[in-house]
Chain A
Amino acid sequence: MTGWHASDDLVTRYGDGSLPEPDAWSLEKHLETCGRCATRVSRAVRETAAGVALAQVREAVLEAAPTLPTTAQRLPRPLALPSPGPRLAHLLWAAGPAVRGAWLPAVLLVAFGAVALAYGADITGVRPLLLAVAPVVPVAGVALSYGAHADPLHEIAASTPSAGLRLVLTRTAAVLAVSVPLLTLAGLLVPSSDAPGAAAWLLPGLALTLASLALAGYVGVRTATAVTGGGWLCAVLTPVLAAPGGHLPARLAEQLQYCLDGAPAQGGWAAAAVLSAVLLAARRPAYDHLERR
């Protein structure tokens, strides 16, 4: 354009990077309009170490390119499997804060504690005590599973499509999946001491859990679990503690028989569970904004 062209020395120094920056810029400006110099500079740059490396990379990429479509089809699978089993991770995620946090050790303590007391310390009347506590355990798990007070991620989770009843139920299922087998097994292992069967707490446990969830739609998870769990403990323990005389475990066993044993009692618990489930389903939208209630 101006008749000026880059000298060989300038081209070499641009290639090896020893040219001061302002000079390099003005050379680049010239190259935009001068094909002849551009070709010379390109050749010089290609011969530098960086140029050689770039050429090799280009070659390698071009070589890999035709095989890409087939590998791309296989690609999602290895990518979808991050290190230690995503299935386990997904299960733990579904389990929520309760099963990850302090609640799990508490359940283990109740279960193993019962067995240890019955055999290690040779204490009688462990089964009634266990049956009295067991229905409250999943209720406590629910309390520690959902809501701003229990879940540090609640504010984020509440804006996702999983929020609301779905997440509440997923986490409740995880809580039940942990507590039901552990506590029932512990109940089977300890001597009966005239208390109802080891499985007698299952329906009341389920009914109280579902009732907590149903109530949570009105008053929030924390209050609801306090009402149901506290209500159960009051119903079972108050008459035992209030009644004068007699052996305490025996009185507890008697009271539990009244609450748990026989078709009418169990039928009542089943009806309560069904009623709570119906209420839950009917009031689904209420669970989206639990914290506002």
Chain B
Amino acid sequence: MSTIRVTGLHVRHRGTVALDSVDLDFGPGVHGLLGPNGAGKTSLIRVLATVAAPTGGRVELLGDDVREHRRRAVVRRRLGYLPQEFGYYPGFTVREFVAYVAWLKEMPAAEVPAAVERAVARVGLADRVDAKVKTLSGGMIRRVGIAQAIVNEPDVLLLDEPTAGLDPEQRVEFRELLRELGGSSTVVVSTHLVEDVAAACTEVTLIESGRVAYRGTPASLAALGESAAGAGVGDNPIERGYTAALRTHRASATPALEGTAR
């Protein structure tokens, strides 16, 4: 069962082609979105989050076409989105910040306080819930971002570089949370850290120059790395698989797109 279905997606970002005829579908589970910087990961996540409008193609989330204004609002209530970069109001505490997003997501007011507590506890910030966001470290702010994304227990959760700024221990804890979330919802995680994918994802999608270069599981990517000895560079099978898949794609691709955006 696919909760996200993308067909013939075409996205332009600041005058350059960010995604070119991308067909993808995702079901419940944790999906790693890998690729070099500027490959189009963020563009894809922003389109899936309904923040950016595609220039062409069709995006279906939870069975609804998001181009339709009315259906879009319904879908957005069941979305969670952590942008790569986000701001906050300087005076807000963690609790206020997460509650504000819950309000934006039109959650019933009676459910919000408990949902906020739960979301903040899940990212391990229960003891900082009344601290001002601006007093927190970068890694903590990222966790606040994850808390706001999961406050409505979304069916589709989109995380753009969620592990950036987290220390190794926090990343291990975060992967645990990812696996837990993937049990019930569709989680799409963009990352450039191959080990995140190996540890927490059920499926891997590799994007290069705005096109899908590889789809499989972490195991199949690792197997590719083992079999294509010499073709891929890296310190472990999955890294070798990653570089091997990229090179195969580059070799077979029609003349690469000029200047792609992130």
Chain A residues at the B interface, C-beta cutoff of 8 Å: 76, 79-80, 82, 86, 89-90, 93, 97, 100, 151-163, 167, 284-285, 288-289, 291-292
Contacting pair B69 A156 (CB below 8 A)? no
**Contacts of A292 on B, CB cut-off 8 Å?**
52-53
Contacting pair A153 B113 (CB below 8 A)? no
Which listed residue, B53, B74, B81, B101, touches A289 by the CB 8 Å rule? B53
CA distance A16 to B95 in the complex (A): 42
Which listed residue, B73, B85, B110, B112, touches A161 by the CB 8 Å rule? B73
Contacting pair B50 A159 (CB below 8 A)? yes
**Contacts of A162 on B, CB cut-off 8 Å?**
103-106
CA distance A116 to B180 in the complex (A): 62
Contacting pair B87 A82 (CB below 8 A)? no
**Contacts of B87 on A, CB cut-off 8 Å?**
151-155
Contacting pair B110 A76 (CB below 8 A)? yes
Contacting pair B96 A288 (CB below 8 A)? no
Which listed residue, B51, B89, B99, touches A159 by the CB 8 Å rule? B51
Contacting pair B79 A159 (CB below 8 A)? yes
Q: Mark B76-120, 1 if CB is under 8 A from A, else 0.
A: 110101010111110100011001110111100110111000000
Contacting pair B89 A163 (CB below 8 A)? no
- Smallest beta-carbon distance B62→chain A, Å: 13
Q: Is B72 an interface residue (CB 8 A)?
A: yes
Contacting pair B105 A161 (CB below 8 A)? yes
Which listed residue, B76, B112, B113, touches A163 by the CB 8 Å rule? B76
CA distance A220 to B171 in the complex (A): 39
Residue of A nearest to B66 (CB): A288
Shortest Cβ-Cβ A-B pairs, 8 listed: A152-B87, A285-B69, A160-B104, A159-B81, A161-B76, A155-B83, A159-B49, A161-B73
Contacting pair B109 A80 (CB below 8 A)? yes
Known: A157-B101, A161-B76. 14 other contacts (CB 8 A): A76-B114, A79-B114, A80-B112, A93-B103, A97-B89, A100-B91, A151-B87, A153-B86, A154-B87, A155-B51, A159-B51, A161-B105, A284-B69, A292-B53
Contacting pair A90 B51 (CB below 8 A)? no
- Smallest beta-carbon distance B113→chain A, Å: 5
Q: Is B148 an interface residue (CB 8 A)?
A: yes
Contacting pair B88 A153 (CB below 8 A)? yes
Which listed residue, A152, A159, A284, touches B88 by the CB 8 Å rule? A152
**Contacts of A284 on B, CB cut-off 8 Å?**
69
Residue of B nearest to A75 (CB): B114
Residue of A nearest to B148 (CB): A156
CA distance A292 to B89 in the complex (A): 23
Q: List 8 A-B contacts (CB under 8 A).
A: A93-B103, A151-B87, A153-B88, A156-B148, A159-B49, A159-B50, A160-B76, A285-B69
**Contacts of B114 on A, CB cut-off 8 Å?**
76, 79
Residue of A nearest to B80 (CB): A159
**Contacts of B148 on A, CB cut-off 8 Å?**
156
Given A80-B113, A89-B96, A100–B52 Cβ distance below 8 Å? no
Contacting pair A82 B95 (CB below 8 A)? yes
Given A100-B89, A288-B69, A80–B105 Cβ distance below 8 Å? no
- Smallest beta-carbon distance A79→chain B, Å: 5
Which listed residue, B53, B77, B83, B96, touches A156 by the CB 8 Å rule? B83
Contacting pair B81 A156 (CB below 8 A)? yes
CA distance A173 to B112 in the complex (A): 24
**Contacts of A82 on B, CB cut-off 8 Å?**
95, 99, 113
CA distance A284 to B86 in the complex (A): 26
**Contacts of A289 on B, CB cut-off 8 Å?**
51-53
CA distance A45 to B76 in the complex (A): 52
Q: Which among A76, A152, A160, A162 has the highest number of chain B CB atoms within 10 Å?
A: A160
- Smallest beta-carbon distance A71→chain B, Å: 14
CA distance A291 to B109 in the complex (A): 29
- Smallest beta-carbon distance B216→chain A, Å: 28
Residue of A nearest to B117 (CB): A79
Q: Which among A100, A151, A291, A292 has the highest number of chain B CB atoms within 10 Å?
A: A292
**Contacts of B96 on A, CB cut-off 8 Å?**
89
Residue of A nearest to B78 (CB): A161
Residue of B nearest to A158 (CB): B51
**Contacts of A157 on B, CB cut-off 8 Å?**
101, 104
**Contacts of A153 on B, CB cut-off 8 Å?**
86-89, 100-101
CA distance A167 to B76 in the complex (A): 14
Contacting pair B110 A288 (CB below 8 A)? no
- Smallest beta-carbon distance A76→chain B, Å: 5
**Contacts of B85 on A, CB cut-off 8 Å?**
155
Which listed residue, A80, A156, A288, touches B50 by the CB 8 Å rule? A288
**Contacts of A167 on B, CB cut-off 8 Å?**
104
CA distance A89 to B83 in the complex (A): 25
- Smallest beta-carbon distance A115→chain B, Å: 29
**Contacts of B110 on A, CB cut-off 8 Å?**
76, 80
CA distance A291 to B95 in the complex (A): 28
